[in-house]
Amino acid sequence: MARYPHTRGSLKILSSYATLIAGERGTHSTGSPIADLQRDMPWAAEHYPDADAVLDEIHRIHHRIARLTEHAPMLVGTCECGGRIYRYPTRRGLTDQSWCNICDRLYLTQGEAA
């Protein structure tokens, strides 16, 4: 985690939500805020009054970490159809090819996509 120092702050935020929701639900911490949130969020979606705000923040954190670790799609251009062209994450990094999010046109090189 030292490579991505911003993730520590995100984990603190997730931990505070996990503790708060577990307290409301009456469950105990497993020591992993992510596991606790996975367990308790279905309940929170039905019973916790601020569940939408928590889910929005979790989504923002997920997107931020995905971008930092190159596990989020990367916008590389605009297609002739008006769609956006993205490179997508794999287990080994971003794809060399790109695809339009509207017409699914495949761009084999970054030069084509640009």
User: In terms of domains, do 101 and 80 share one?
Assistant: yes
Name the pLDDT band for 96 (thresholds 50, 70, 90): confident
- 44 occurs within a structural domain: yes
Overall average pLDDT of the 55-80 stretch: 88
User: In terms of domains, do 56 and 92 share one?
Assistant: no
Closest CA to 18 of 9, 30, 7, 5: 30
Give the domain range for residue 97.
74-113
Name the pLDDT band for 2 (thresholds 50, 70, 90): very low
User: In terms of domains, do 25 and 62 share one?
Assistant: yes
- 64 occurs within a structural domain: yes
Instruction: Determine the pLDDT at residue 9.
Output: 84
Show the beta-strand stretches assigned E in 8-104: 74-78, 84-87, 89-90, 93-94, 98-100
For strands 93-94 and 89-90, give the pairing: antiparallel
User: In terms of domains, do 19 and 52 share one?
Assistant: yes
User: In terms of domains, do 50 and 80 share one?
Assistant: no
User: In terms of domains, do 55 and 102 share one?
Assistant: no
The CA–CA distances, whole Å, from 19 to 25, 69, 96, 112 equal 10, 26, 41, 49
